[in-house]
Chains A and B, each alone.
Chain A
Amino acid sequence: MKKLLVFTTLLVLGSSIYGQTYNTFEPSKTQFMLRGYGHTGFEYMDSGDETESTFLGSAFAPIFLYKHSDRLMFEAELEFVLESNELEIGLEYADVMYVLNKNMTVRAGKFLLPFGTFMERLHPAWINRLPNAPLGYGHDGIAPSSGIGVELRGAFDLGGPKLNYSVYSTNGPRIKDGSEEPEEAGILQFANYEDTNLAKAYGGRIGLLPFSDSSTEIGFSAYSTSGTGEEDSEFEDIGAFLYALDFSLVKQIPGLSGIVDVKAQYNSSNVDTATFIEMHEDGDEEEYSFDNQSNSFYAQLSYRPTMANSDFVKKLEFVGRYSDFNAPEGAEWEEKSTQYAFGLNYWLSWRSVVKLSYQTTETEGGHDGDGITNTDGLFLHWAIGF
């Protein structure tokens, strides 16, 4: 009985203190938000002679947003993933932004690059309609995903149509010269904390939304640098020019009782021809060079029957995606791949989705050697944003 009395007293007092803290609550002018996302899943892969299946440990990506005033803001994202049983922490981005005027904002720090739209706008697990990125992105991808530098961006209202732009300069990419990983000689590495030469990368994107309902956007991006090698190395003057075209259409179509979403992006990378050294097993060295041009493309169509009568059907989504990737002929990483991916998603909320996907990929060349490999994969992923 005594215990009960003490307990009730504590409860009453406790809740009144709790209530009071909230009574005096006033919104502060500065604001801090902790957001982010995580995902986990199961994958089964079959490449003819090899099959594997695995549960994926969750990836966890906290995002910090700090709004100082109506013009000044800071954003940062950390990424925690398990990579061969080790915890790896990555800094996806960390930048400050300041709204200069109604048509221009400046950003500085490490930011996601508006090279096309996939990396900047569509890659987070709770946004991407399929469990993985299309071919050509991510590890060994040819599209730069982030950079350290400064950027100006903004948008114009053209009285119906809208135009948006971004121009930036970042630390340039580095070319892998093959001294450490001979099989990757000629690949560009982006997002370098320190630049090794004076040549910076310059780039930008221009996007046009031709219709007043903002349903459609077409974009053109370019990224160039005059030097990718270390100062005074033979790669110092090896320049690179990359461009991308992107397309987006999102529209509610009453005739189809739902929302149709089309996304596409084409990337092209042209690196000046350089000479690399191949070490043979007997110790001989041989010089070789190749036309260092790569490209990749993806187009994705998805449909959500949002106007269906059944609550269950409303939350479903059907997805199909084609993607291909072509790495230069003559390079150690020469590759031609095409992939078809199909998906069925169930949206638990606007930021939480269970994705079931089947993907079939045909790879010619690549890291696994010559010949053609066909890989079938089955994925079950769960992504949640918070």
Chain B
Amino acid sequence: MKTVYKLIIALVILATTGLTVVACSSTKGTYSDVPATADAVAEEEFKMEKSGAQLWGETCNRCHIAPSPADYNDTDWETISLHMRVRANLTEKESMKIEEFLKSAN
């Protein structure tokens, strides 16, 4: 079989498993509901804004097993956060929120 085909098949299989897994396991509601009041708007925004803890759980597991907050002290977490932000190409928001969480929970 030509490699190109192998590759396409592999990608399609991976993409479908990926999509299925994500689609089946997501418990979040859709964000399309139109909120009626200002309170609801605020609540909606609050819901969409992920906490540092959640971001830590989702992000720091992607390459290696995620370290726990207690593994390092605050100064170390600052260095590690900058290192990981650059190495893992994380967004500024992700890395700042995770750093805050790690420093608050150690």
Contacts and interface: CB of A to CB of B under 8 A. Distances in A.
Contact of B92 (A102, A218, A266, A297): A102
B14 A126 contact: no
B104 interface: no
B88 interface: yes
A342 B27 CA distance: 33
B71 A166 contact: no
B22 A251 contact: yes
B39 interface: no
A67 B64 contact: no
Interface size class of B (residues with CB under 8 A): 35 or more
A207 B89 contact: yes
Given A213-B22, A260-B21, A297-B6, A155 B91 contact: yes
Interface in B33-80: 50, 58-59, 61-68, 71, 74-76, 78-80
B86 to A, nearest CB: 5
Given A245-B11, A299-B10, A350-B67, A97 B18 contact: no
A234 B34 CA distance: 68
Interface stretch (A84-92, A156-164, A175-183, A194-202): A156-164
Contacts of B80: 33, 65
A154 B90 CA distance: 7
Interface residues of A, number: 61
A288 to B, nearest CB: 24
Contacts of B89: 114, 153-155, 164-166, 207
B82 A249 contact: no
A73 B83 CA distance: 8
Contacts of B66: 350
B106 interface: no
Given A33-B76, A295-B3, A262 B14 contact: yes
A282 interface: no
A248 B64 CA distance: 12
B3 A27 contact: no
B87 A121 contact: yes
Contacts of B67: 350-351
A150 interface: no
Interface string A240-263: 000001011111111100011010
Contacts, number: 128
A273 interface: no
Nearest to A216: B18
Contacts of A126: 64
Contacts of A211: 22
B61 A250 contact: yes
Most B CB contacts (10 A, CB to CB) among A65, A155, A218 go to A155
A153 B86 contact: yes
Contact of A262 (B17, B58, B63, B79): B17
Interface in A36-50: none
B7 A250 contact: no
A127 interface: yes
B30 interface: no
Interface string A112-153: 001000001110001100000000000000000000000001
A214 B7 contact: no
Contacts of A155: 89-92, 94
Nearest to B90: A155
B62 to A, nearest CB: 5
A97 B10 contact: no
Interface of A: 27, 31, 33, 65, 67, 70, 73, 75, 97, 99, 102-103, 105, 107, 114, 120-122, 126-127, 153-157, 162, 164-166, 207, 211-218, 245, 247-255, 259-260, 262, 264, 266, 268, 295, 297, 299, 326, 347, 350-351
10 closest Cβ pairs, A-B complex: A164-B89, A102-B92, A350-B65, A67-B79, A155-B91, A127-B64, A157-B91, A214-B58, A121-B63, A249-B18
24 contacts: A33-B79, A67-B79, A70-B78, A73-B82, A105-B86, A127-B64, A157-B94, A162-B94, A213-B22, A213-B58, A214-B59, A214-B62, A248-B62, A249-B18, A253-B21, A255-B25, A262-B14, A268-B3, A297-B6, A347-B65, A350-B64, A350-B67, A350-B71, A351-B67
Given A97-B86, A207-B89, 13 more contacts: A31-B78, A67-B78, A73-B79, A99-B85, A127-B63, A156-B91, A165-B89, A213-B22, A213-B58, A215-B21, A215-B58, A255-B24, A299-B14
